[in-house]
Amino acid sequence: MATTETTTIVVSDLFDVRQTQWGGRACFASKDIPENTTVLQTESAFGATVLYEFRKEVCAYCFHYEYGKYCKFKVPTPENGVKLTRKFQGAGLWFCSQGCLDRWTQFDPNNELTLTYESMLQNFQMKLKESHEKEDNNVEISKEIIGKEWVSISEWDDKISKMKKTKRLNQLPVLNEEEYASARFVALVLYNLHTHHKSSELFEHLQSNELEKITRFPVLLKSQTLVYKFLRLSLPEYLQPLLTIGSLRLIFGREYGNAFGIRQITDESSSEEKEFLGYMLSPEASYFNHSCRPNLKKTRDGNMMTFTTIKDVEKGEQLCIDYFQISEEPFEYRQKTLNENWFFQCACDRCCEERAMDSA
């Protein structure tokens, strides 16, 4: 899951991130690590978004969710001299506690991100009643087709840069709920780049899976261009220089295959289906490869993820997680799921053994 240049990436003193012979990067234990050791705890998410349908039920800071109960805390109207054309609506941010609201305020001390989200919310809702164009999902995708689509967007960019501000808003696209959620994901990444979040450099090292993902889901190409237009017309001045066609394509390309789902946390004994509430990206956690016989488990605590060994690991062994909680599933199912969602043929120890047994 990484690029090809040979820069050393330092994530932890318990493991090295190294280029592998089979391509991509992997994490190898740099010493013997006993079972039950935390090998990584991530920083606050570099990119994250809560799905629109859960916006009132999931805490915008810690992603706490309690079976459909509404969060009670909202951001107060910012008073730092910003003129809002419309009444402040809370930026689409709800918090589970005063503590989470306080932590949000620390994270966004000048309300820059809050006002970014507010502007996006108002623009999104303004268009909500208009119908969304149905897109053809069966188009052929190639590098050239993706390139061409973006050339037309760059022409649109030139065109609107010459327009008066009031006229520009007529160009605001209608987004569906998923597109709006992904626009918020991009806005958070841009904000974190703007404030030099600790993980910025690691983010730059992540591989883009743009072509693989769009080939699989052609509708995403149109969605990305709509999100681009929406952000161009909604982001405040301070983020505008960070939004370029190149940066947006890289953010999406890196999100694909590297983001983790934010799932409802239930107690271990519960057999209940966990709600999919949104998704988050922490670059430092993106170098663990998948194995159907993992030696790490991932747990989420608020907006951070913790990776812990579930068996003794010897120095030099690769550290792996089970991306999809599929280690209970049979070979064929695992191969199919991993290929469709993460774009690779699993060649972990277990898959190799099972494949060999099958052909024996």
Residues that bind Zn ion (CB under 5 A): 59, 61-62, 64, 96, 100, 292, 346, 348, 351
- Residue (101 or 233) nearer to Zn ion, CB: 101
CB of residue 360 to Zn ion, shortest distance in Å: 18
- Residue (61 or 279) nearer to Zn ion, CB: 61
Q: Cα–Cα distance between 232 and 239 in angstroms, integer?
A: 9
CB of residue 326 to Zn ion, shortest distance in Å: 9
Residue written as token pair 């999919």: 276
- Residue (17 or 346) nearer to Zn ion, CB: 346
- The H or E element containing residue 189 is helix 177-194
- Residue (96 or 280) nearer to Zn ion, CB: 96
CB of residue 318 to Zn ion, shortest distance in Å: 12
Let me know: does 185 contact 49? Beta carbons within 8 Å: yes
Residue written as token pair 């987004």: 175
CB of residue 187 to Zn ion, shortest distance in Å: 20
User: Using the 8-state DSSP alphabet, how is residue 238 labeled?
Assistant: G
- Residue (96 or 113) nearer to Zn ion, CB: 96
CB of residue 63 to Zn ion, shortest distance in Å: 7
Q: Cα–Cα distance between 11 and 30 in angstroms, integer?
A: 12
Query: Cβ of 273: how many Cβ atoms within 10 Å?
Result: 9
- Residue (100 or 202) nearer to Zn ion, CB: 100
- Residue (217 or 333) nearer to Zn ion, CB: 333
CB of residue 179 to Zn ion, shortest distance in Å: 26
- Residue (64 or 222) nearer to Zn ion, CB: 64
Question: What is the SS3 assignment for 25-60?
Answer: EEEEECCCECCCCEEEECCCCCEEEECHHHCCCECC
- Residue (229 or 298) nearer to Zn ion, CB: 298
- Residue (31 or 72) nearer to Zn ion, CB: 72
Q: Cα–Cα distance between 312 and 32 in angstroms, integer?
A: 8
CB of residue 57 to Zn ion, shortest distance in Å: 12
CB of residue 188 to Zn ion, shortest distance in Å: 16
Please, what sign has the CA dihedral across residues 112, 114, 115, 116? positive
Among 106, 227, 232, smallest CA distance to 159 is for 232
Q: Cα–Cα distance between 79 and 198 in angstroms, integer?
A: 28
CB of residue 71 to Zn ion, shortest distance in Å: 7
Phi, psi of 111 (to 5 degrees): 60, 20
Token pair of 85 as six digits: 């054309």
299-317 in b/e burial notation, b at 16+ Cβ within 10 A?
ebebbbbbbbbeeebeeeb
CB of residue 235 to Zn ion, shortest distance in Å: 26
Let me know: does 333 contact 354? Beta carbons within 8 Å: no
Among 175, 199, 193, 182, smallest CA distance to 278 is for 182
Residue written as token pair 């459909």: 68
Phi, psi of 260 (to 5 degrees): -105, 140
